[in-house]
Amino acid sequence: MPITMRLLIVLLILKVTSGESREVTGYIGESATLLSGADPNRTLSTINWSIYTNNTYIATLSKGTIQLEWFGRYIGRLSLNNSSGDLTIRNLTSKDAMQYSVDLTDTKRHNSAHKIDLKVKQRLQKPTIDTASLPAAAGSCWWRLNCSSTEKVNNLFWHDETFISETHPKGSSAVLLAFLESTEMQAEFRCTSIRNRENASNVVTLKCDDKPKHRNHYMLLFFVGYLLGVFLTLCLVSIGEKSTTA
């Protein structure tokens, strides 16, 4: 047999044996369930879930007792299904991404073992929207909305076409100029980012609302006026006192 052929056979065998570990994807802060792969027709008597090459236990079932407090980082985050052998890890962190091993024995003294590779990803975060008002004629308003994402996204876009004057999609930010032609009007603008098969949206609701600014303005004038009044009164009183003592 030629050497290349033997090499091919060896590679094929390697591929078949390494295909034993299955992959599971979870998301930060969410739960993931690692399937034990146990035959549902058999009743499990021991279940040992472990990590690392030294097989550090994290969850076990032995003599009808479930023990989940083996390893600090997992305490309070695990649940073990005593019939299926499946392990659920809650509130995932990126440190949980690794290979998990499960060793099973059933009541007929049959053993089986499986390996599961857990991948932990971050869900696509909502894009952020920065708003800035622009000068406009009384009773109307202009807004400049910048939608951006700190993550590498495939696309980022504004939905509502109604008020859009122009958009500048550029990499991970999209700018929209919106015009609202009356103070009663209220409009919602939604921006969506897309990464692979995930999408995330954020929304802002805008209306022409320049009254609060004016009110603040008047409050300031009022306050300055009040101080001035107090000061003048004090001056007058002290002048009056001086003239009576003289």
Ligand X SMILES: *[C@@H]1O[C@H](CO)[C@@H](O)[C@H](O)[C@H]1NC(C)=O
List interacting residues with ligand X (CB under 6 A).
39-41, 46, 48, 52, 54, 56, 60, 62, 64, 81-84, 91, 93, 103-105, 111, 130, 146, 148, 173, 175, 192, 194, 199
| C-alpha–C-alpha distance, residues 173 and 231, integer Å | 53
Half-sphere exposure of 1 (CA within 13 A, CB side): 8
Give the contacts of 136 (CB within 8 A, at least 6 positions apart).
142, 179, 208
Rank residues 199 and 216 by Cβ distance to ligand X and give the closer one. 199
**Minimum distance of ligand X from residue 91's CB (angstroms):** 4
123 vs 215, beta carbon nearer ligand X: 123
Alpha-carbon span 101 to 94, nearest angstrom: 18
Please report how close the Cβ of residue 16 comes to ligand X at its closest, in angstroms.
Answer: 21
**Residue closer to ligand X (CB basis): 83 or 238:** 83
**Residue 77 or residue 119: which is nearer to ligand X going by CB?**
77
CA 243 vs CA 71, 195, 231: distances in Å: 88, 82, 18
Other beta carbons within 10 Å of 119: 14
Comparing CB distances to ligand X, the nearer of 84 and 183 is 84
Structure tokens at 11: 């590679």
- Closest distance to ligand X from the beta carbon of 142 (Å): 15
CB of 90 to ligand X, least distance (A): 7
In three-state secondary structure terms, 74 is: helix
Shortest Cβ distance from residue 161 to ligand X (Å)?
Answer: 14
